[in-house]
Amino acid sequence: MAEYGEQLSNQITSAFNSRQGALNNTPANKLKVPEKDLLVFFRQLSVILQSGVPLAQGLFLLSENMTNKKFAICVQNIGNQLNAGEELSESLSKYPRIFAPITVGLIEAGEAGGMLDTVLSRIATLLEEQAKIKSQIQGALIYPILVLVLAVSVSLGLLIFIVPQFKTMFDDLGADLPLLTTIMLNLSNIVTSPLFFIFAPISSFGAIYLLNNYYKTTSGRLTIDNLILKTPLFGALILRTEVASFCDTLFTLVNSGIPIVEGLGRCIGASSNQIIKNTIKKSISLVEEGQELSYSLSLSKTLPKLVISMIKIGEETGKLSFMLENLSNFYKREVDATVSALTKAMEPAIIFVVAGIVGTIVVSLYLPMFSLINEIGN
C-alpha span between 104 and 108 (Å, rounded): 6
Q: Which of 106, 49, 51 is nearest to 82 (CA)?
A: 49
Share of the chain above pLDDT 90, in %: 42
Taking only the tens place, the pLDDT of each residue in 154-209 is 888 888 888 888 888 887 776 678 888 889 999 999 999 888 889 989 999 999 99
Q: Say if CB 143 and CB 342 are below 8 A apart.
A: yes
Taking only the tens place, the pLDDT of each residue in 13-54 is 444 444 444 444 555 556 788 888 999 999 999 999 888 999
Q: Assign 376 a pLDDT band (cuts: 50, 70, 90).
A: low
The mean per-residue pLDDT over the stretch 322-340 comes to 92
Give the contacts of 125 (CB within 8 A, at least 6 positions apart).
none
Q: Assign 129 a pLDDT band (cuts: 50, 70, 90).
A: confident
Q: Say if CB 222 and CB 275 are below 8 A apart.
A: yes
Q: Which of 340, 336, 311, 339 is nearest to 326 (CA)?
A: 311
Phi, psi of 196 (to 5 degrees): -65, -40
C-alpha span between 264 and 96 (Å, rounded): 19
pLDDT for 13 equals 47
DSSP H or E segment with residue 321? helix 320-377
C-alpha span between 80 and 111 (Å, rounded): 18
Q: Say if CB 73 and CB 84 are below 8 A apart.
A: no
C-alpha span between 159 and 152 (Å, rounded): 10
pTM > 0.85: no
Q: Which of 158, 119, 377, 142 is nearest to 255 (CA)?
A: 119
Identify the structural domains of the chain with CATH numbers, from first to last.
2-99 (1.20.81), 131-378 (1.20.81.30)
Q: Say if CB 270 and CB 102 are below 8 A apart.
A: yes
C-alpha span between 13 and 373 (Å, rounded): 87
Give residue 246's region: left, alpha or beta (phi > 0; psi -120 to 50): alpha
CA distances from 301 to 107, 298, 308, 351, 375 (A): 33, 6, 10, 38, 64
User: How far is C-alpha 166 from the geometric centre of its chain's CA atoms?
Assistant: 46
C-alpha span between 370 and 96 (Å, rounded): 69
CA atoms within 13 A on the CB side of 68: 17
Alpha-helical (H) ranges within 65-178 are 69-83, 88-92, 101-113, 116-157, 163-173
Taking only the tens place, the pLDDT of each residue in 75-124 is 999 999 999 999 999 999 999 888 988 889 889 888 888 888 888 988 88
Taking only the tens place, the pLDDT of each residue in 274-325 is 999 999 999 999 999 999 999 999 998 899 999 999 999 999 999 999 999 9
